[in-house]
Structure 1
Amino acid sequence: MSAGGLGCAECPVRDRAACSALEPQEREELARAGRIRTLKRGETLFAAGDRNDACATLIEGALKVTSFDSQGVERILALVHPSGFTGELFAPFTHHDVVALTDSRLCVFSRAQLESAIERYPALAQALLRRSQEEIHETRELIELMGRRGAAGKVAGLLVAMSRAASTSPCHGAQSFDLPLTRGEIAGLLGLTIETVSRQLGALEAKGLIARHGARGIDMRQPRQLEALVD
């Protein structure tokens, strides 16, 4: 973990994060109250049951929001992508673990600092509300994806969702991206076996819908056909 001042001008999510609703001077004032935190893959940002007096916007990387069932099995409840907001703004305790899926970088603010900024800047409150609504919608889509019967539709749907999350455009998904999830995490998320996930990815590649490169690289060759598998 490391900390340091924020540089809004160089921030890769400055046009998508909730703070984009602020005027430049207001954004710089907010930035002076925060700090940068970096996490290595597997490091915990917030732990269930711990007092949580901080909130954060993800700049780079990916996070998972998880809980453990009575048998100690991890359940991924949501994913946080760049420009996403995490932290319980109006509650002092966190109820889930928030863990880095990849090396990640975040803008972190204390809860008191952000509450003060919301009072001063109504536009920020509206932007955070919109962000919360978007993330609820994304989580609902993830839950619906988990409930699908067909393995092909589940895996295709996850790739489409990851492509959209990796894109800087609201109009279309990213053509190429790295999967932040391991095969095991994908299997657990979708209710499949690791072998089934591997078979489905191989089948999609054999059909020319995707191309894989490296350990996690994905090229979306036929995104519309992938989307058709989800419907």
Structure 2
Amino acid sequence: MSLACASCPVRDRAACSVLAPEERAALARVGHTRHLARGQTLFAAGDPVTSCATLVSGALKVTSLERDGSEHILALVHPSGFVGEFFQPFAAHDVVALSDSRLCVFAGPDMEAAIARYPALAQALLRRTQEDLHASRALLAIGSKVSARARVAAILIEFSRAASDSPCHPARAFDLPLSRGDLASFLGLTIETVSRQITALERDGAIQRSGKRGIELVDPALLSASAQ
């Protein structure tokens, strides 16, 4: 069954958005939908990667396993993000669902043929690679911030940017893609410290929590100041 592009929530942000309707329809006919439950692996380190995918909903993490068994998060993949064999570092790392996720999956040869047939798609994938590299560097730089408050504020800003439909404005409301434990591990903090800092940012009026993982930016300027 071909992909339902007309109802795709990331149709205007994914790399395939540059294609003409008939070109996108042709690409959709060779793809299929895959659902991942939270914690399920898309690509495992060491396994041959013979496919690629666009994330439609949910979130993925790219991780490495240290010798002591601890997990190190290297990058996050948000909706409209692209992963697969064209990004060789993933062959050495695990790509795991952070939440229930839906993806458009393509066999490697089919995507290679599409790239050769549609130069605009190749350019869009190159731009996305550059954007993902910049985002990964920004995430890794957060760990160098001195204070716990700055680290937590900075990661919330990055999540709001990733959740936005616009490259110019962050999303005012979003769900945290990481658990408190994953956040703590990524930021080099304890779970208790992460919880205290989120509570402090809410008390100060920078954010407001909604449910278990929902975050609303009440005062983006204050949050940005806290991230310095």
TM band (smaller chain): over 0.9
| Cα shift readout 1:155-187 (whole Å, capped 9, x = no counterpart) | 001111111111112221111111111100000
Alignment partner, residue 139 of structure 1: 136
Task: Report the Cα distance in structure 2 between the residues aligned to 1:71 and 1:117, rounded to whole angstroms.
Answer: 42
The 1:133–1:114 alpha-carbon spacing in structure 2 relative to 1, beyond 3 Å, is same
TM-score, with structure 1 as normaliser: 0.96
The alignment yields a C-alpha RMSD, in angstroms, of 1.3
- By how many angstroms is 1:92 displaced? 10
What is the letter of the counterpart of residue 115 of structure 2? I
Q: Structure 1 CA distance, aligned partners of 2:182 and 2:52? A: 25
1:194-226: per-residue Cα shift (whole Å, max 9, x none)? 111011001001101111121111111011111
What is the aligned partner in structure 2 of residue 94 from structure 1?
91
The offset of 1:5, in angstroms, is 2.9
Contact 2:84 2:90 (8 Å CA) reproduced: no
| 2:101 alignment partner, one of 78, 97, 104 | 104
Q: Which moved more, 1:81-90 or 1:35-44?
A: 81-90
* Identical-residue share of aligned pairs (%): 61
**How many residues are aligned here?**
228
TM-score, with structure 2 as normaliser:
0.97
Q: CA separation in 1, counterparts of 2:189 and 2:176?
A: 17
Q: 1:82 to 1:93 in 2, by over 3 A?
A: closer
Determine the C-alpha separation between the residues in 2 that align with 1:180 and 1:109. 24
The equivalent of 1:229 in structure 2 is 226
- The answer for the alignment partner of 2:66 in structure 1 is 69
The one-letter code of the counterpart of 2:64 is S
What one-letter code is carried by the residue in structure 2 that aligns with 1:215?
A: K
Q: Partner of 1:28 in structure 2?
A: 25
Deviation beyond 3 Å, 4+ runs, structure 1? 90-93
Match of 1:212 in 2: 209
Structure 2 partner of 1:8: 5
Structure 1 unaligned residues grouped into runs of 5+: none
Question: Which residue identity lines up with residue 22 of structure 2 in the other structure?
Answer: Q
Shift of the 8–158 alpha-carbon distance from structure 1 to 2, 3 Å rule, reads same
Q: How does 1:106-185 map to 2 (within 5 A)?
A: 106-185=103-182
CA contact (8 A) 1:49 1:93 kept: no
Q: Residue type matched to 2:94 in 1?
A: D
Which residue identity lines up with residue 119 of structure 1 in the other structure?
A
Cα distance in structure 2, aligned partners of 1:73 and 1:90? 24
Letter matched to residue 86 of structure 1: V
SS class of match (1:76): strand
